[in-house]
Amino acid sequence: MKTKIIAQSAKNMPWEPRPAGNNEIVWRYSGNPIIGRNATPSTARVFNSALVPYGDGFVGVFRADDIYTMMRVHLAHSKDGINWELEDKPIQWVDEQGKPYQPHYAYDPRLVKIEDTYYIMWCTSFGYNPTIGMGYTKDFKTFTRIENAFLPFNRNGVLFPRKINGNYVMLSRPSDNGHTPFGDIFISESPDLVYWGKHRKVMAATEGWQHLKIGAGPIPIETNEGWLMIYHGVLHTCNGYVYSFGAALLDLEEPSKVLYRSEPYMLTPEADYETIGFVPNVAFPCSALVDTDDGRIAIYYGAADTHIAVAFGYVDEIIDWLKKNSKLYHGDDTIGRD
């Protein structure tokens, strides 16, 4: 393996080799989708979800829209990363004083371990408007909410897995209160996860599959070549939005600077479970597992706002592909202050 990866390694992650004759940069798991409609009595659809290695298996925070069509985040456990036991009741939060503190709604969670703490970011209701909610747990039993990171309207808050130059760093995508027909990726820093500043623009929506808006997906993966950021891009068609995903490499010390950015998508909705569902044509990645020894990667993505699906690849191949298929746009390679 050429690339050095610094991440929580997932030795026993699910895996299937690339099928014979397949030339795609990532390939779909043959058992997709892995979870879907009516998984528990209270949950109607389980999709854009995040997980990490935990104990001898995996733990996840799963987006589940309930039988009232409200967005909730539930805890889930798995031994193999494929078969999940989802709790029927949403995660119960407390505030920093230990009092119950439930979000009115919560969706599209991300999950990251920093030192001995697991941080969860999600799109939360803040005065009934969306922004980035945050909380943490150390044991997946007590879940403590901290201050919302940003003002409304914002979505797709994704924390880096370590401090950079002494500060926590988070990607986000300022939005509106609806189905947001615009959106670029920004980055912010904080010394304490309470006060956020030093805002920079990372990259903008551009053309084709990523012409309408873009948003960060899984927690960025640290490599010796830069931060590997998998992100979704949206195309506006006459029949609605189409969510695909691609990748970029961001500078290690100054991640507002884009080194490479994929001009083609890595994966676009093609399988039935991606093109048919509650919201057709959505592939929305929120999480990835990597084996740091051999560079295997498993990308977990929501499919059609109805299912969770998995795609496999190699970090080495993704980085080579990125270098060959990169197109930087105006401002991508500069520090985005203007």
Nearer to ligand BMA, 161 or 302 (CB): 302
∠ CA 187-62-130 to the nearest 5 degrees? 45
Q: How far apart are CA 99 and CA 145, in angstroms?
A: 10
Per-position b or e across 310-324, b if 16+ CB within 10 A of its CB: bbbbbbbbbbebbee
Pick between residue 47 and residue 314 the one whose CB is nearest to ligand BMA: 47
**Other beta carbons less than 10 A from residue 68's beta carbon:** 8
* Smallest distance from ligand BMA to CB 88, Å: 21
Binding mask 225-244 for ligand BMA (x = CB under 6 A): ------------------x-
**110 versus 257: smaller Cβ distance to ligand BMA:** 110
**Closer to ligand BMA at the Cβ: 7 or 149?**
149
Pairwise CA distance, residues 194 & 135, whole Å = 11
Nearer to ligand BMA, 213 or 296 (CB): 213
Which residue's Cβ lies closest to ligand BMA? 279
Distance CA 248, CA 227 (A): 8
Per CB under 6 A, 107 contacts ligand BMA: yes
- Report the site for ligand BMA in 41-70 (rule: CB under 6 A): 48
- Identity of the residue, 140 or 278, whose beta carbon is nearer to ligand BMA in the bound complex: 278
Q: How far apart are CA 176 and CA 116, in angstroms?
A: 34
Stretch that binds ligand BMA, among 10-18, 36-44, 145-153, 276-284 (CB under 6 A): 276-284
The label of the residue with tokens 């903008």 reads 204
Q: How far is the CB of 210 from ligand BMA (least distance, A)?
A: 15
Smallest separation (angstroms) from ligand BMA to the CB of 50: 12
Site mask, ligand BMA, residues 296-315, x = CB under 6 A?
Answer: ------x--x----------
Which of these ranges, 90-98, 132-140, 145-153, 279-287, lies near ligand BMA under the rule CB under 6 A? 279-287
Of the pair 157, 295, the CB lying nearest ligand BMA is at: 157
Q: Taking CB under 6 A as the rule, which mask of x and - marks residues 163-202 in contact with ligand BMA?
A: ----------------x-----------------------
Count of residues near ligand BMA by CB under 6 A: 10
Q: Which of 284, 301, 312, 321 binds ligand BMA (CB under 6 A)?
A: 284
User: Which of 48, 78 has the CB closer to ligand BMA?
Assistant: 48
Distance CA(39)–CA(16), nearest Å, equals 24
Nearest CA-CA partner of 110 in 194, 65, 57, 172: 172
Report the 10 Å Cβ neighbour count for 180.
18
Query: Please, what is the minimum distance in Å from the beta carbon of residue 33 to ligand BMA?
Result: 14
108 lies in the binding site for ligand BMA (CB under 6 A): yes
Among 204, 282, 297, 310, the residue binding ligand BMA under the rule CB under 6 A is 282
In the complex with ligand BMA, the residue whose CB is nearer, 108 or 332, is 108
In the complex, which residues of this chain contact ligand BMA (CB under 6 A)? Answer: 48, 107-108, 179, 243, 279, 282, 284, 302, 305
